[in-house]
Amino acid sequence: MLKIVITGPESTGKSTLAKQLAAHFNAQLVDEFARTYLTNLGRAYTQSDLLIIAKGQIKAEYKAIADNPTLLICDTSLEVIKIWSEFKYGSCDPFITNGLSNNLPDLYLLMTPDLPWQPDPLRENPDDRDQIFELYKKELKISGVPFYKIWGNEKERFKMAKEVIEKNSPEI
């Protein structure tokens, strides 16, 4: 199984690309658990909610892995929660950092913040995307997992990501 995580700052087209790639490759898709959790929360979230989100994301990934897919596409993963926790709160729960270390993908696709900001009730940082992007680059370098930057409009992003996946998994 090849596990690919689409990651990057808010409003960079992660969910759109994840759905496109899963459909194109007939791959198993793991949606972003945080979106479902926060939509149903009914209050402002706190740092302790990030731990619940991390556990939900891990559970969703394990459930998808149990289906033994050839290709697993994850619309974000624990690196997002770790980076956001450190950025917003200055720290991160060890469960999240350990979970990240124990659930690394085979490949990251890092979305650049070159798309226009799209307002969304769950998004918080329209002005810090470049700064946060640099945090992602640093985190992914530390992980040791190969990553590729994906940029351009929606069509260009899909084409670039598709080519990266095909290059890294010729049997797909």
At 165, the amino acid letter reads I
CATH number assigned to the domain covering 2-168:
3.40.50.300
Q: With beta carbons less than 8 A apart as the criterion, state whether 8 and 75 touch.
A: no
pLDDT-based confidence at residue 125 (cuts at 50, 70, 90): confident
pLDDT of residue 24: 97
- DSSP secondary structure of 99-154: HHHHS--SEEEEE-S-SPP---TT---SS-HHHHHHHHHHHHHHHT--EEEE-SSH
pLDDT-based confidence at residue 118 (cuts at 50, 70, 90): confident
Q: Which residue did the predictor score with more confidence, 120 or 57?
A: 57
pLDDT-based confidence at residue 119 (cuts at 50, 70, 90): confident
* 127 pLDDT above the threshold of 90: no
Quote the DSSP letter at residue 118: -
User: Which run of H or E residues covers position 141?
Assistant: helix 129-143
Q: With beta carbons less than 8 A apart as the criterion, state whether 103 and 77 touch.
A: yes
pLDDT of residue 123: 77
32 token code pair: 């972003």
**What SS3 string covers 21-80?**
HHHHHCCEEECCHHHHHHHCCCCCCCHHHHHHHHHHHHHHHHHHHHCCCCEEEEECCHHH
Q: What is the CA radius of gyration of the chain?
A: 15
The mean predicted confidence, pLDDT, of the chain is 94
Of 108, 106, 103, the closest CA to residue 161 belongs to 108
pLDDT of residue 116: 83
* 133 pLDDT above the threshold of 90: yes
Domain boundaries defined on the chain: 2-168
* 113 pLDDT above the threshold of 80: yes
